[in-house]
Amino acid sequence: MKTKPGSLFFKSVLRFSLFWLFGEMEITLQDMRLVVMQDVTKFFRGNDLNRGRDSRRTIEG
């Protein structure tokens, strides 16, 4: 089962709004773009490795 890029972007935005709500990080536009790019490259590189796995675990480190 492959993840659609649209839902991947939605997950990134959702994750960031949660971060903002809990005040865990100060969000700038650059930070947001950086994390979205991280998600996109992770999606293309590790799609076979992370199949069926939740990608939220890997970004918090």
The structural domains of the chain, with segments of one domain joined by +, span: 25-50
d(CA 9, CA 15): 10
pTM above 0.75, yes or no: no
Q: What is the widest separation between alpha-carbon atoms in the chain?
A: 34
pLDDT at 61: 46
Contact between residue 35 and residue 16 where contact means Cβ atoms under 8 Å apart: yes
pLDDT at 17: 79
Query: What is the chain's pLDDT, residue by residue, as a tens digit (61 residues)?
Result: 565 667 888 888 888 777 766 665 565 666 778 888 888 888 777 655 555 555 555 555 4
Half-sphere exposure of 49 (CA within 13 A, CB side): 7
d(CA 59, CA 61): 6
d(CA 60, CA 10): 18
